[in-house]
Amino acid sequence: MRTIVYADGGCDPNPGPGGWGVVIEAESGRIERCGGDRATTNNRMELTAAINALRHFPEGAQIEMRCDSQYVIKSVTEWMRGWKAKGWRTATGPVKNVELMQELDALAARRDVRWTWVRGHAGEAGNERADRLAAQGRREALGLPPRPETGPAPLTGTAALRAAAAPAVSQAALATAPAAAEPAPARTSAIPLDLGLGLEVSRAAKASGLTPQAYVERAVRLALDLGPEGLERARADLRDAKGAKGAPTP
C-alpha cells in the first residue's frame, strides 16, 4: 500500500522569500514538515518540497507523491531521462536547478514513487494543507511567527494518546446537534491599479498558477506581515541577489 504524500512550494514575490510544505498521510498519523529560504524561486521551493518528502522514507518505500507543480511532475516523468542522457543539459544550455534535480532523481531512484499531479487550490485537503505549511515555512525564513490559520501541528506522544482516549461523539448526537450556520460571504473591496501594473500582476499570477486576485491577496498579506522595515529588507536582499547573479565572473 502506497503512502500518500503532498508536497508544495511557493515564493512571494518570485524570486524572493519562499517556503515549502509536506504532508505525509502515514498509517501512524499525519506527519508535517516545512521550511523556507529568504532568497529563492517558486520552482526551487517546489523541488525542495518533493526532496524533503522523499528524504523521510527509507529506500524501497512505496509512495504516491501528489504535487500541483507541473514543473516537478514533468521533470521527473518526462524530461529527466533526456537531460541525463545529454549530461544534464537541454537544447538551450544546462538544466536549471540542476543540483536539486539530481538529488530528486537519486532519491526517487531508490524508492517506488508514483507521481500524481493535482490541481492546486481545488479543495483537496492534503494539497491545501501543504500550501499553508509552505506559507508557514516562508514566514519562518523571514523570522516571523506562524499565522494562526496555519493550524497546530499534529499531536504526537502523550498528547496523541490523550486525544485517542477522549470519548467519541456518537452518530446520534451528531444527528441531533444543531446545524452550523452558513459562513457569511467574504467582504471585499475594489482597489484600482495602474494599467501597466495590472498587466504585470496578470502575467505574474499566470506564471504562479494563481488568479490575479489570489496573487494580489498573497502579495498584500506578505507586505503586511513584513511591515515597512521588513519589506525594505526583503527588497534589499532581492536587489543584492539579482546584483550578484548579474555580476561578471572574475
% of the chain at pLDDT higher than 90 = 57
CA distances for 54 relative to 48, 107, 149, 164, angstroms = 10, 6, 27, 28
Phi, psi angle pair for 32, to nearest 5°: -125, 145
Q: Quick check: helix, strand or coil at residue 166?
A: coil
Cell 517546489 found at: 46
What is this structure's pTM? 0.62
Task: Given the residues 12, 18, 68, 126, select the one marked as catalytic.
Answer: 68
Q: Is 194 a catalytic residue?
A: no
Domain with CATH 3.30.420.10 in the chain: 3-153
All three cell numbers of 207, joined, read 506564471
| Contact (Cβ atoms closer than 8 angstroms) between residue 130 and residue 112 | no
Q: Compute the residue count for the chain.
A: 250
Q: Is 225 a catalytic residue?
A: no
Specify the CATH number of the domain 3-153.
3.30.420.10
- The average confidence (pLDDT) of the chain is 81
Has residue 130 got a pLDDT over 80?
yes
Has residue 229 got a pLDDT over 60?
yes
Q: Is 68 a catalytic residue?
A: yes
Task: Given the residues 12, 32, 37, 131, select the one marked as catalytic.
Answer: 131
Give tens-digit pLDDT for 74-105. Answer: 999 999 999 999 999 999 999 999 999 999 99
Q: What is the pLDDT of residue 204?
A: 76
All three cell numbers of 220, joined, read 498584500
151: left (phi over 0), alpha (psi -120 to 50) or beta: left
Query: Which residues make beta-bridge pairs with 36?
Result: 19
Cα–Cα distance for residue pair 51/183, rounded to 1 Å: 38
Q: Is 46 a catalytic residue?
A: yes
Give tens-digit pLDDT for 179-200. Answer: 444 444 445 555 666 666 766 7
Give tens-digit pLDDT for 13-70. Answer: 999 999 999 999 999 999 999 999 999 999 999 999 999 999 999 999 999 999 999 9
